Amino acid sequence: MRVGLLSEGGYPYAAGEGGEWCDRLVRGLGQHDFELYALSRTARQEDSGWYALPGNVRRVRAAPLWGGPASGGGGRAYGAYGRDQRRRFTAHFGDLAAAITLPGDQAYRFADGLGGLADLAREEGGLAVALRSELALRALETACRAPGAHPAAYSTRVADLLVVSGLIERALRPLSLDWYGTADGDRGLAAVDLCHATSAGSAALPGLLAKRFFGTPLLVTEYEIGLREYYLSSAPADLSPSVRTLLSAFHRRLTALIYAEAAVITAGDGQGRRWQERGGADRSRLRTVHPGMDASLYEAVGEGDERAAPRTDGPPTLVWAGGRTEPHLWEALATLRTAEPELRLRVVGVPPDTDTTPEGVSFGPACGPEDYAAGSVVLLSGAVDGFPAALAEAMFCARATVSPDVGAVREVIGGTGLVVPPRDPAALATACLTLLGDPERRARLGAAARSRALELFTVEQNVAGFGAIYLEVLSRAPVQLGTPDPSVPFSHAAAPLSATSRSSSPTWAGRR
């Protein structure tokens, strides 16, 4: 099959987010062809270059989400629109603006407005100029001043409206791209069988349009929940409350629409799935595909003799991984030193801003297999956000672990380590002493942890999981009859297709 891989600020850029897992996915599914449709976030990211792409990447299309509208990609200037185009734009953008300013269930209005803008953009060659025009400002101001509008929207100023319209234009820039077929015969996303967006938001917008125009199914993957990240860090603090309110509502509506239209939505753990459900995703279409890690990096340590042997070559050592040190760690260390005076602590991370470091504590900038090998017990930082990769690494190294009961820790560890209340120094010290005093238990937990990691968190399981989902999504997609794609082997059906066939077909199933 041919897959359109859609990204925002990620693959194939070398400085992109999530590039490693995308590259492994593309290489691991070498039986499929991939087309990459990438949205860059900064000029610096574009200057970083691309990954070395494998042979099954058939093409790469890229466009910026930064700066002003691309020349030639914005359609006609506002003044060149006829009366009918201005009327349609005002109505559709007005619906979209009303959906982000009015309370209550406005999902239908947002979907209608965005769909209408998509159709108009396709007919007129783009809407980037119109989205930054006075026409858009008037529609947005009308929505903000409408009876029942959110108080923060009602208090917007002209400067706020200019900022909001500019940022919405950037988010909707995929509407104005030539990725959906051109007059010169470039079919773009019309030629793919499946769109796989590596995040919700602007990255998935081309997939929404491909579904609307061609019936192409959409798969959305979020290893970091985009809406959550926007709430926590992406909304600039220097924006006014009115601007932040409107933009948050816009991203919330867009994410909910993407979830509603996607055939399958995946997350890396149960915590991510719960966020997706809160964002409006249907539970029946949610799947968990754990992140994949290269198990071979940890094989020498994980399969070594020291995995099951008590440590007799030096003092007991704890390894703190996954984040900055926290005050409760030093409190627990004081208790541990009373029972184990020779105890050593290795902290993976930046030393704290202090002139004094407790005796027996060392710091290291990174954590590799050799660092885990040096530890009798591995401690996970209490500030776990997202998938706890450091915990999975320790499990691959067959190390007994003590982790805070936060996030996806219980899901990842599955009973192969000890879990304590977060930021509780007494519980942390007690758990560490329990494991330090029982080498055989440490060995059993470490062996079980490595077995679980090999079952759930390898690159192979990650690639196989997505391969199965691709087939699941395509098996339910309608059959498409159209002009054969000469670049796809066996794109002609061996026999005439039945007249009762439905309206869409994957390339591997044959096209007439």
Instruction: Please give the full DSSP string across 426-458, using - where no structure is assigned.
Output: HHHHHHHHHHHT-HHHHHHHHHHHHHHHHHHSB
CB 172 within 8 A of CB 165: no
Q: How does pLDDT run across 154-186, given as a tens digit for each residue?
A: 888 999 999 999 999 999 999 999 999 887 888
Lowest mean pLDDT among 227-236, 354-363, 427-436, 482-491: 482-491
Looking at 17-31, 170-184, 227-241, which range is the least confident one?
Answer: 227-241
Lookup: tokens for 391 = 């915990």
Statement to judge: residues 61 and 97 lie in one domain: no
Q: State the pLDDT at residue 507.
A: 56
Report the pLDDT value the prediction gives residue 228, as an integer from 0 to 100.
81
184 & 61 share domain:
yes
- pLDDT reading at 491 higher than 90: no
The CATH number assigned to the domain holding 386 equals 3.40.50.2000
Distance CA 321, CA 323 (A): 6
361: which strand partners? Answer: 345
pLDDT at 501 over 60: no
Residues 119 and 224 in one domain: no
Does 196 lie in the same domain as 145? no
Residue 485 lies in a domain: no
Q: Which two tokens stand for residue 491?
A: 């794109």
Do 304 and 199 share a domain, yes or no? no
Domain boundary among 288, 303, 320: 288
Which ranges of 102-155 does DSSP label H, i.e. alpha helix? Answer: 107-124, 128-131, 134-145, 151-154
Q: Does residue 188 form part of some domain?
A: yes
Query: What is the C-alpha separation between 186 and 433, in angstroms, rounded?
Result: 66
More confident residue, 250 or 367: 250
Asked whether the beta carbons of 25 and 466 are under 8 A apart, the reply is yes
Q: Do 310 and 389 belong together in one domain?
A: yes
Residue 416 is assigned to a structural domain of this protein: yes
Q: What is the pLDDT of residue 435?
A: 96
Q: Is residue 487 part of a domain?
A: no
- What would the two tokens of residue 269 be? 């753990």
Which tokens sit at 96?
Answer: 């979209």
Name the domain boundary from 288, 314, 345.
288
Q: Tokens representing 320?
A: 């703190």
How many angstroms separate the CA atoms of 277 and 284, rounded?
Answer: 10
Partnered with residue 389 across adjacent β-strands are none
In this predicted structure, what is the pLDDT of residue 481? 54
pLDDT at 381: 83
Same structural domain for residues 281 and 328? no
Alpha helices in 172-312 (DSSP H): 205-214, 226-229, 241-261, 270-278, 299-302
Residue with more model confidence, 483 or 266: 266
The residue among 247, 223, 224, 253 whose CA lies nearest residue 235 is: 247
Residue 484 has what pLDDT?
Answer: 61
Residue 112 DSSP label = H
Claim to verify: residue 189 and residue 261 sit in the same structural domain: yes
Residue 506 lies in a domain: no
Among 88-92, 219-223, 233-237, 439-443, name the one with the lowest average pLDDT: 233-237
Q: What is the pTM for the complete model shown?
A: 0.88
CB 298 within 8 A of CB 393: yes
Rg (CA), the chain: 26
Residue 216 lies in a domain: yes
**pLDDT-derived band of residue 329, with 50, 70 and 90 as boundaries?**
very high
DSSP structural state of residue 50: B
Residue 397 structural domain: 295-457
pLDDT of residue 241: 86
Banded model confidence at residue 477, pLDDT cuts 50, 70, 90: confident
Say how far apart CA 344 and CA 16 lie, in whole Å: 37
- 299 in the same domain as 284: no
- Considering only residues 365 and 23, tell me which one the structure prediction assigns the higher pLDDT: 23
- Looking at the structure of the chain, the number of domains it has is 3
